[in-house]
Structure 1
Amino acid sequence: MKLFFSTLMLLMSAVVWADAPLSSQMDSYLVTNKDGKEVVEEAEQASPGDIVEYRLTYTNNGDQPLSGLVITGPVPANTVYLKDSAATQVSADFTVSIDNGDSFQAEPVTKTVTGENGQSKNVEVSPSDYTQVRWQPKGSLQPDQVQEYRYRVRVQ
């Protein structure tokens, strides 16, 4: 009976998830240049120096608008965010994290450092120090609407 109940709970969870109004998908693409033109192909693997574009796609499968979305993408270990590569056609606030998502700031990101003389000063943080990127759309995701968010990293 316990096995039956557990299996039933898993099936119910799958049904609830399948009926969720919001679906999301993250895909990665390798960005190369061929004959002077940029080519973007699905990424099977990447090597140091390669540029990878991440695409985060969100779809409203429900019948009501969805608001309050927060779209967050990782900057994986052994990669660096490429400055000004974040893009979307959605009106959204774009922020980044340099502390694994504990806090987010608009660019240019600054932090306080203490110099050898003991004085503190604000310095601009390099995009290579970003650990996550985030968009907060200003509007709602309408029923059947799809929104896409993109950014690029370089593999180290």
Structure 2
Amino acid sequence: MRALISGLLLCAALIATPVWADGPLSSEIQSYLIERGQNGEEQRVPTTQAAPGDVIEYQLVYRNTSEQPLSGLVVTGPIPANTQYVEASAQTAVDAGFVVSADDGSHFGAEPLIDTTRRSAGEEQAVIPAEAYTHVRWTPNTAIQPGQVQTYSYRVRVL
């Protein structure tokens, strides 16, 4: 089972990491197993493997390697198969909008996602639980400056 989930983590890394050969923006994805130390403090341990019940934190790291500001960055992270998004775990120090998707990235909306169903008696609305999310996305409100590094993170629980 650990080998299967290890493969899923690798697939998520390949999906989430755009490939820019010699471009002005470098990117990488880092995955960490979240553990509790002996003193109860949370620890991030680099990992490529996970088991059911584990919490994995993905860090998407972008670096402007050019001498010009870069704008238009959109950072999208998938929620791998056999995992669930950990509600309210998305973080960044960047001034950015944050949205989520529950339909494989076709549509995005602010948390909590609301499903609206039209019926003959009117509309019904229901909150889509965070466990149903398939993608997370940030859109920075400012350009990434030369030499600047931006980090975006989110967590998933392995099923």
Q: 2: distance between equivalents of 1:59 and 1:127?
A: 29
SS at match of 2:94: coil
Do structure 1's residue 72 and structure 2's residue 76 form an aligned pair? yes
Match of 2:131 among 113, 128, 132: 128
- Unmatched 5+ residue regions in structure 2? 1-19
How many aligned residue pairs are there? 139
Among all aligned residue pairs of Structure 1 and Structure 2, give the percentage whose two residues are the same amino acid: 50
* TM superposition score normalised by structure 1: 0.84
* TM superposition score normalised by structure 2: 0.83
Instruction: Give the 3 Å change call, closer, same or farther, for CA 39–106 of structure 1 in structure 2.
Output: same
**What is the match of residue 105 of structure 1?**
109
Shift of 1:39: 1.1
Residue-by-residue CA offset, 1:85-129 (whole Å, 9 max, x unaligned): 0000000000000111101001111002478x9764010110000
Partner amino acid for 2:156?
V
Shift of 1:19: 2.6
Which protein is bigger by CA-based radius of gyration?
Answer: 1
- Unmatched 5+ residue regions in structure 1? 1-16
**What is the match of residue 22 of structure 1?**
25
Q: 2: distance between equivalents of 1:85 and 1:112?
A: 25
Q: 1: distance between equivalents of 2:90 and 2:121?
A: 36
